[in-house]
Structures are given as C-alpha cells and as structure tokens.
Amino acid sequence: MAKIAGSLFNLLRQYGAITAVSVLTLVALVMLSQSLQQAATFAESYMLLLMIAIGGLVVLLTLLMRTVIKLWRSVRNHRPGSRITLRLAGMITTLVGVPILIIYLFALQFILQGIDAWFDVKTETALKNATEVVQLTFDSRSRNLLKLAREGGTLFQNDLDTSPAVALEKLRALLDAEEVSLYSPDRQLIAFSSASTDVNILPQPIPDNLFRQVRNGQPYAALEAREKPAPGQFFRIVLPVERSSDKALLQAIVPVPDQLVKPAETTERAYKEYLQRAFLREPLKTALTLLLSLVVLMALLSALLFSIQLVQNFTRPIRALTLGTRQVAAGRLKPLRDEMPDNELGELLRSFNNMVEQIKRARRTARISHQQSELQKSYLQTIISTLSSGVLTLDASGRLRLYNVQAEELLGVQLNRLVGTRPGHRLDQLQHAGFAELWHHLEPLLDKAAGPWQVQMTYADGPHTRILLIHGAPLGEQPRGGHVLVIDDITDLIQAQRNAAWHEVARRLAHEIKNPLTPIQLSAERLAFKLARHLPESERSLLEKLTQTIVEQVQTMQALVDAFTDYARAPRPEKQPVDVNALLDSMAQLYQRPGLSLTLDADPHCNNLHADPNRLRQLLHNLIKNAIEVQENQDTATVTLSTRCDDAEVVISVCDRGPGLPPDAAGWIFQPYATGKPQGTGLGLAIVKKIVEEHNGTIELASGPNGTCFHIQLPGQTHT
C-alpha cells in the first residue's frame, strides 16, 4: 500500500502541474467552443474564456521553455542522459507534432469551407423569398378582411342604426373575428361583440394615430403582435361606416389561423438567425480558426511537456547508471540509491549495484593483501637495509623492484631512477661507464642462469676501483620468476690477503737476504785490504773500484732489506697525544734547504691528535720524500703541508707541483712494489697506507697535471 501511495505521489509530483494546467486549458477551450454555438452568450463569455485559455497556454509555454532551457544546460554541461533525453524528446515531438499539424491544416480548411457553405447565395435568397411570401400572404389576408368588413358594414347598415349589437355580432361571425367594436367619432364606444364568454372583457382600444387616420377616411388593415392576454399575432381592421345619424368607426380583431402562424414564425426565425450568422460570418471564421489553433497548440505543448517528462523518467536509470559508472571510475564505490523500476533497466541497476559490491569486496581483499605485501616488503626492506651487502631484486622481465642503500653506495648510482625499468635500457641516461660494464657482464647470467651463481668483478666508480663479489639466485621455483643479487665489496679483503702475502714475502726476503749481506761486504773489504799491497798501482785502483761497487750494492740491498723489514713488521702503535701542527712544523724545518720551497698551512684550531708520533713521522717522511723526488727535474721543488680539523676528524694534506700521476693511479699506487720512479722500491706508499690504517684512518689521492695531493683523514678528538 505504501508503495502504491509513493508511486501516486511521484506521479502527482512529476505530472500534476502539467496535467492541471492542460485540463484547465482544455475545459476553457471546450466552453469557448460551446459559446460559439450560442450567439446570445457569445459576446458575454467569449473574451473571458479566451483569456483563460490563452493564460493556460502561456503557463504551458513557460513550463516548456523552462524545461527546454534546463535540458539544454544539461546537454551543454555534458550531464549524463541529457543528450539521449533531448534526442528522444525530439523524436517523439516530431512523431506527434507532424500528424497534429497535418490534421490541423485539413481541419481548418474543412471548417472554413463549411462556414462558407452555410452562407450560400441560394440559401439566403430562398429564406428571403419565403419571408416575402409569408408577408404577402398576411397582406392579402388583411386586405380581404378589410374588403369583407366593408361589405358587412354596408350589408348590416340598417342594423347598425337600430340594433348595433346585433349587427356587430353578425359582422363578427362573418369575419370570424375575435372581437368587433363600434366607436363614435368622439371615441365613444357604441357597441361591442366578443367571442369570449368573459363578461368583464374590454375591447382593445384604437391607437390615437389610427383613430385620426380612419376618421379622416383612410381605413387600416395590418398584422400586429400582442403580449396579452397570450403572446401571438392578429389582424387589426379599422374602417369608417355610415349611419343615419352620423359616421362611426368599426374595429375588428381577427386572429391569425394556426396553419399560417407556425410556418410564418419558423420562416421568420430562420431568416433572422441566418442574418445574424451572416453578420458574424468573418468573426466566426476568426474565432473558429483561433479556437482550433489554441486546441492544436495546447495539444502540442502538452505533448512536448509530457514527452520530455516521460523521456526523463525513462532515462533516469541511465543517468543514475552513468553517474555510478563515473564514480566507480573515480574510485568511489557507492551503490545506486535511486528507485529501481520494475523492468529491464531496473534489473540493470540492480546488477550494477551487485557489481559495485563485488568490486568493494575485491578492493577490500586487495587492500588487505596489499597491506600484507607492504608489511612483508617493509620487513624485507628492514632486513636488507641492515645488511652490509648491497641487495637488488629484479622481476621476471628484468625490471628493478627493490634495492637497499648499501647497493647505491657500492655502485655509486642513484638506483631510484631505475626502479620499474630494465637497468640495461637506461645506461645511456646514467652515463656511468663502470655500471654499464658491470651490467653487460650480468645480463647474460640473468638470462641463462637457472640456479645460484657468483662472479667476481673489478668495478670502476670514478677514480675508485672496487673488487665486487656478486651472488645471484632466481626468485621462486619458476625459471623466469626474477632474480636477487647480493653484492659484496671484497676490496679490503683482497687487499688484506695481498698485504698478508706481501708481508710474508717481505719477511722471508729480509731474512734470506740480510744474512749473507754482511759477510759479502766484509769479504769484499778484506780482499781489497789483502790484495791492495800486492798489486801494481793500476790494478790496485781497479780493485778498489770493484770493491767499492760491491759495498755500495750491498748497502743498497741492505736498504731494501730494511724496507722489507719495515713493511713486514706490524708493531703495535704506541699512541699518545700529539700536537699535529708542531709535528708538521718540525718536519718542515727538517727538510728546509736551497732549491726546496716547503710551506705549512696549519689550522690553528687543531688540538692534540691521539696517535703514534714516530709512525706519523715515518708517514710524513715518505710522502715528503716522494713529493721532492717527483720534482727533481724542476729548478725549485714546491711542497705544501696543511691541516684541517673539526670535531670528527683531522685532515693532513701533502701536495706537490709535480707532473701528476696517471688517472688510474688510485687503483695501484698503494700496492706493494708499485712505483712510477725508476729507483723506487714500491714500498713507501704501501707503508704509508699501512700506518694510516693502523690509526683507523683513510688516505685519498687527488692528482692532476698541476700536481698531486695526498689527503689523510684521521679520527679527531676536539675542535675549538
């Protein structure tokens, strides 16, 4: 019941105003049509009804314009369903309007031709002639009655003198009159005869004008109308009669026979109505044309309004579905709340709501899965971020999905630019030769390897060279499920292994070479001492020269053995507070000599450094000695010592103005027995790096065409 009441309320709300105005307009038009058929009420009600009908049409037109404007705005604003509403409304209007206009044109032509047919010339002539015939009949009757009254007056002349009442009675019977009266010249009633039995009845008086006319000798005979005692027509006959004493006036009232009254009245009424209609011929055409036009206009306006409203109601589910689809596309999953019609469109809306609910459930499930995946990803990211190794994960297509900070630091590449892409496709944008070479070696392994693998590679990151050990393994059980790469920097490990090997070599060389050096030197000196006095002067000088050569070479070998010993031994540093600026100043004073420009640029804020002063002196001695030697071909050697301090570290720099080192020198310059000097042992910088590492520091090389700098970073204490 409530559903039926709601449906009725919706119908009234949607169609109530249109229906009410249309019905009111239609009633006014019907009444207007009725008024056209009644000439008496035409003038009184026509304008009022016409204004009511026009007012209703104006209201309908206003409603239509308002509806059309709203519809046009909807189309312009691309609101859902507006274009199909406009198209369907236009089609319905065309289908309804064209037949109505055709019927209107034919009906208007038919009505106008019918009106013209009513007022045919023959009909008008016939009615006029009939009226004239009736009039001639009455005129002939009145003349006959006048003639008969004269003859009766002559016939009953004697009786008029002696017995006027008897004479009038005979004359009434002769004329078949209703009453007969006789008047004297001075208008005195002489006698009276009536067919009525009413003794109180009085004769009809003679009008003054007729009395004077007849008294002057002119008789009167005509058809007259009366209202009393009963409406009708009669013949009035008035004429003078002769009496012996004087002249008298005779009046006879003769009723019109019934066989003449009804045809005469009918003919007269028809003619009068014809004349009235003929007078209203053009106004009637105009009124009927206006009436038909108003009816057609009312039908068209009502049809338009009802069709637009019907189409809007029909397309309401489509609009709701379109809006719902847009909301779903925008991510707002809300079911449609519109009223569901009991048809296929309603079934479509219900199916859409079911789809939205399924999408909501699927999205909820996907959100939960995504949250779990993100949780696992975060857990995995936390794990790999704590690893010292670099980690990369690739999907089945070779696109980078996950990495940690250690991988960026090891490779020296911003990996966030590669996430979601195949690194091999972005090498030109990265412009990193070392990474490009690395990836060219890895791609074949990623494409072909079906199990775990590892590879050791030398990786160049600018001036630095690292030795990387890369482990690879497929993800999952699928052969193309992606890969995980674990990258370890084993440069220090390899270096430590090399250093250990060189330490052992240096220790054994020092042990095996040092023992025979002293006997060789002593034997050579003894030979020179023993043989010098037994040889001639010329041979003695040759002996001394050869002996000196043996001694010098032994001393050279002894220096080499001492270098081996220094490199091989690993004494525990005896750290103590050291004034680094004072230490550098003493070293600068030690090396001051002509041909050498040694300057000190000390940071005054440096405090004591916790280090082994002897090992630091050895470190500085090797660096200053190398800086002087690389400038031996220059007139003046230039060496600069400098310090820079803060809370975290102390940086000691030793710079020269020599020719510089090759670009790849940073990769081998600190290796044992690696040297760029003809007379060098290749152990000086190796010992320097060892001393720096003993103090938990680092050393960096910066070389160019204008000279070379070694920067030593050592842990600091305080900075004032």
Residue tagged 């208008």 (tokens):
187
Residue of 532, 509, 713, 541 whose CA lies nearest to 611: 713
38 pLDDT band (50/70/90 cuts)?
A: low
Return the domain boundaries, the chain: 14-118+280-325, 152-268, 387-489, 496-568, 576-715
| Model pLDDT for residues 384-423, shown as the tens digit of each residue | 777 778 888 888 777 888 888 787 777 777 777 778 787 7
679 pLDDT band (50/70/90 cuts)?
A: low
If you average pLDDT over each of 153-167, 266-280, 535-549, 578-592, which comes out highest?
Answer: 578-592
Residue of 393, 390, 418 whose CA lies nearest to 404: 390
**Structurally, what CATH architecture does the domain formed by 387-489 represent?**
2-Layer Sandwich (3.30)
Query: What span, in angstroms and rounded, lies between the C-alpha atoms of 461 and 489?
Result: 12
pLDDT at 712: 93
pLDDT at 278: 59
Torsion angle, alpha carbons of 139, 141, 145, 151, to 10: 100
Q: Pick 479 or 606 by higher pLDDT.
A: 606
Asked if 119 and 259 count as a contact pair (C-beta separation under 8 A), the reply is: no
Q: Above 90 in pLDDT, residue 592?
A: no
Q: Above 50 in pLDDT, residue 713?
A: yes
If you average pLDDT over each of 42-51, 99-108, 327-336, 342-351, which comes out highest?
Answer: 99-108
Q: How far does the chain reach from its first CA to its final CA, in angstroms?
A: 93
Look up residue 161 and give its two tokens.
């003198």
| Model pLDDT for residues 532-547, shown as the tens digit of each residue | 777 777 777 777 777 8
Q: Above 90 in pLDDT, residue 655?
A: yes
pLDDT at 652: 93
Where is average pLDDT lowest: 37-46, 74-83, 93-102, 196-205?
A: 37-46
200 pLDDT band (50/70/90 cuts)?
A: confident
Asked if 654 and 709 count as a contact pair (C-beta separation under 8 A), the reply is: yes
Write down the pTM of the prediction.
0.40
Residue tagged 């008298």 (tokens):
248
654 pLDDT band (50/70/90 cuts)?
A: very high
pLDDT at 6: 47
2 pLDDT band (50/70/90 cuts)?
A: very low
For the chain, what percent of residues have pLDDT higher than 70?
Answer: 72
**DSSP for 53-98?**
HHHHHHHHHHHHHHHHHHHHHHHHTT-TTHHHHHHHHHHHHHHHHH
| Model pLDDT for residues 18-35, shown as the tens digit of each residue | 666 666 666 655 665 666
pLDDT at 138: 74
State which fold the 152-268 domain adopts.
Beta-Lactamase (3.30.450)
Q: Above 80 in pLDDT, residue 299?
A: no
pLDDT at 720: 36
Q: Above 90 in pLDDT, residue 642?
A: yes
Where is average pLDDT lowest: 212-216, 257-261, 700-704?
A: 257-261
pLDDT at 228: 65
Report the SS3 class of residue 50.
helix
Where is average pLDDT lowest: 29-43, 61-75, 217-231?
A: 29-43
- Give the DSSP letter of residue 482: -
653 pLDDT band (50/70/90 cuts)?
A: very high
**One-letter amino acid identity for 565?**
T
**CATH fold match for the domains 152-268 and 576-715:** no
Chain centroid, CA 612 distance in Å: 74
**Structurally, what CATH architecture does the domain formed by 576-715 represent?**
2-Layer Sandwich (3.30)
Angle between helices 281-329 and 39-76 (to 10 degrees): 20
